[in-house]
Each structure stands twice: as structure tokens, then as C-alpha cells.
Amino acid sequence: MYMKPIKSRFVTLLCFCFVTLWSCKSLPIREPVEISRNLTSPGVLNAKQLAIFFVRENPAANYSEIRSFAQLYIDEARAENINSDIAFAQMCLETGFLRFGGLVQKEWHNYCGLGAIGPENPGCIFATEQEGVRAHIQHIHAYATTEDVELNNELVDPRYSWVHKTKYAQTVREMAQSWAADPAYAVKIENLLFRMKLSVR
């Protein structure tokens, strides 16, 4: 008397399992994102991914504005063969996710603390967002390349030539040794890169 309902439920369960397994089989497998620590490797995150990461860290930020800002980093970095992921992470560290609050003021468009030494030398001032991003990318370029490698865009970084002649670094850790006095500077950038990776899973 009870065999029929039990058999019916069993068949239904089998059908459900089959459909579920078939659906899972058809889903694309997402490859894990790997962000290079090499200064001249291509960035792998797009503007949308960078903006999502940024807004999670600073919910008060405007997503559309940050996405456009992130695209500036991608475009300027690509023009000079610099890793946009590293540059964007460094910007987040230096500005506190564009909250600022230190020597450098928001309206200066100085996104990497360029020239910021102390009250008497609070940092460089750039006219626009793009100019500020370009200066940041060019400063990384000054570290990451030898003197024979020229810039593709017009020079706006006032400290570029001196660094290009005296410094050389291939990785975040090597650059950090002379970029900042903080001994944990490289670790902080790498921690941000790790969080960026997690945000796009």
C-alpha cells in the first residue's frame, strides 16, 4: 500500500540529483586569479574588479567614479608597461583608499605620496586626476626600468630622472626598500594584492 508513494519520491530524488549534477557540469570552471608582484608584468584585474575591491574597503566611495579612476590606472600603466594591479594597490595604501588625512591633500591628485617628506615638503601637486595617476605610474617606471628605456607619455613626474638614474627594482619588495622608510611597506602592499585577489573569486 505504501510502495507507490515511496517509489515516486525515489524517482523524483533521482531526477533532482541528475539535473543538479548536469547543471554543475555545464558551469564554467573559474581559474584562480594570480596577481604578479613584478613591476613590469601586466595587470590582470579590470576596472570593474578594482572598483569592487575599492568600494568594499571604502563603502563611502562612489562606485562609478572609482571605476573610471581605476581605468585611468589601467590605461596609464599599460602605456608604460607597468603592473596596474600593483600601482592601484599602492595608491590605496598611500591615500587610505582616497580618504587622505596626512600631509598630502585630496585636491593635489598626488596618489603615491610623491615628494611628501614633512611639513616643509608636503608633496607634489598635479592639475588633474589623470596627471596624478600618470606621475605615479612614471615613478614606478623610474624604478622598474634602466636608463635606456624611455617613457611613452609626456613626463610629468618631477623626480623621475633622478630615480631612473639611481634606483632599480623588479618587484614590490625591491621597490619598497627605497620608496618608504616603513620596514613593513612591501608587506602592506602585498597584503592589499592578496585581498584584491580574494575579492574577485
Give the pLDDT confidence of 32-71 residue by residue, as tens digits.
678 999 999 999 999 999 999 999 999 999 999 999 999 9
In three-state secondary structure terms, 118 is strand
Q: What is the pLDDT of residue 200?
A: 81
In three-state secondary structure terms, 110 is coil
How far apart (Å, rounded) are the C-alpha atoms in residues 111 and 129?
9
Q: What single-letter DSSP state applies at residue 154?
A: P
Which phi and psi (to 5°) does residue 121 adopt?
-135, 75
Q: What is the pTM of this model?
A: 0.84
State the DSSP string of 26-50.
HSPPPPPP----BTTSPP---HHHH
Question: Contact, 66 vs 52, CB < 8 A?
Answer: no
What contacts 87, CB < 8 A, 6 or more positions away? Answer: 43, 73, 77, 136, 137, 140
- Angle at CA of residue 101, ends 98 and 104, nearest 5°: 80
How far apart (Å, rounded) are the C-alpha atoms in residues 92 and 50?
11
Question: Contact, 82 vs 182, CB < 8 A?
Answer: no
Q: What is the pLDDT of residue 19?
A: 47
- Angle at CA of residue 154, ends 186 and 148, nearest 5°: 65
Confidence of residue 80 (pLDDT cuts 50, 70, 90): very high
Q: Among 29-33, 59-63, 143-147, 169-173, which stretch is predicted with the lowest mean pLDDT?
A: 29-33
Question: Contact, 160 vs 153, CB < 8 A?
Answer: no
Retrieve residue 137's grid coordinates: 605610474
How far apart (Å, rounded) are the C-alpha atoms in residues 37 and 170?
9
Question: Contact, 89 vs 193, CB < 8 A?
Answer: yes
How far apart (Å, rounded) are the C-alpha atoms in residues 153 and 162?
18
